[in-house]
Amino acid sequence: MAHSGINVLFEGTNFTRLLLGMWTTFKIAAIAIVIGLIIGIILGILRTFHNKLLRFVLRIYLEFFRIVPTVVLLFLFYYILPRQLNLHMPGTQVAMLVFALWVAAEMSDIVRGALISVPIHQRESGLAIGLTRYQLYRYVLVPQAVSLELPATINLITRVIKTTSLLMLISVMDVVNIGQQIVEANNQKYPTGVFWIYGLIFLLYFLIDYPLSWWAGRLEKKRLEQANGE
């Protein structure tokens, strides 16, 4: 029974279609992550400044993206952009926009956390040798913050990749959506094919995310050992 079901993967172009779907998924995630990280780093630095209004606005932005579930964010942008702003975007672009804004929000918090955890005397001794604020960030604070924030950033990336599984909800032809179509088309011929299709999708996600989270875990462990070794 089950061993015949596996053939659904090799029927016609099914296997390539699934991989192409994964590629679409991956592309959306990659573009959103790059844009989101850049915006997030800038916002994170801005959030360590003393301007109260700026900090308040950015905090609200973060909290909004933290509190509203990603599914809901996708629908908000999918329905509201075209109707209220008359901005017609295909699902893939809506998804990139939502993910980029979400990554930016989360990243701003990671960057801010890392920056404020650089000891105060580092900041002061930087100022004491006459560094400007830009130089202080460029040469002292940001380099120290990077090693602190790297594991959290990698973990954020794995979360984004997992969250791309929601793309099918706004009609993007991602790997899950294609999987569903294949299941429906082959249900008669391969009743247990569904097991193999979703099993493969499961595996594909795992293969992308596992190395990343392994890397993050290793970095984190190294940092802990260093902190303890002092």
Partner 1 sequence: MSWEIIKQSLPMFQQGFVLTLYLSLVGIIGSAIVGIICSLVQYFKVPILDKILQVYIEISKNTPLLVQLFFLYYAFPAMGIKLSAQLCGIIGLIFLGGSYMAAGFSGGFNGVSKKQVESGKAIGLSNWQLARYVVFPQGFALSIPALAANIIFLIKETSIFTVIAIPELTNTALDLIGLYYNSNEYLFVLVVAYAIILIPLSIILTLLERRVRYGTFGN
Contacts with partner 1 in 162-201 (CB under 8 A)? 162-166, 169, 176, 179, 183, 191-195, 197-199, 201
Query: Is residue 84 involved in binding partner 1 (CB under 8 A)?
Result: yes
Token reading at 165: 């599984």
Query: Is residue 224 involved in binding partner 1 (CB under 8 A)?
Result: yes
Q: Is the CB of 7 or the CB of 165 nearer to partner 1?
A: 165
Least distance (Å) between residue 195 CB and partner 1: 4
What's the burial of 74, exposed, middle or buried (CB within 10 Å: 0-12/13-18/19+)?
A: buried
Specify the DSSP element, H or E, that contains 192: none
Size of the site for partner 1 (CB under 8 A): 43
- Rounded Cα distance between 213 and 20, Å, is 24
Q: Is the CB of 16 or the CB of 84 nearer to partner 1?
A: 84
Task: Report which DSSP code applies to 50.
Answer: S
Residue with tokens 């005397």: 121
Token reading at 123: 């900041």
What's the burial of 81, exposed, middle or buried (CB within 10 Å: 0-12/13-18/19+)?
A: middle
Q: Which of 146, 202, 222, 226 binds partner 1 (CB under 8 A)?
A: 202
Query: Is residue 116 involved in binding partner 1 (CB under 8 A)?
Result: no
- Rounded Cα distance between 105 and 44, Å, is 9
Helix intervals (H) in 138-187:
142-163, 175-186
Q: Which of 206, 218, 222, 226 binds partner 1 (CB under 8 A)?
A: 206
Contacts with partner 1 in 127-146 (CB under 8 A)? none
Q: Which of 3, 50, 52, 83 binds partner 1 (CB under 8 A)?
A: 83
Q: Which of 54, 71, 87, 146 binds partner 1 (CB under 8 A)?
A: 71
- Rounded Cα distance between 123 and 141, Å, is 7
Query: Is residue 213 involved in binding partner 1 (CB under 8 A)?
Result: yes
Token reading at 128: 């004491």
Asked if 104 contacts 33 with a C-beta cutoff of 8 angstroms, the reply is: no
Q: Is the CB of 66 or the CB of 133 nearer to partner 1?
A: 66
Query: Is residue 21 involved in binding partner 1 (CB under 8 A)?
Result: no
Query: What residues make contact with partner 1 under the rule CB under 8 A?
Result: 2, 5, 63, 66-72, 75-76, 79-80, 83-84, 158, 162-166, 169, 176, 179, 183, 191-195, 197-199, 201-202, 205-206, 209-210, 213, 224, 228
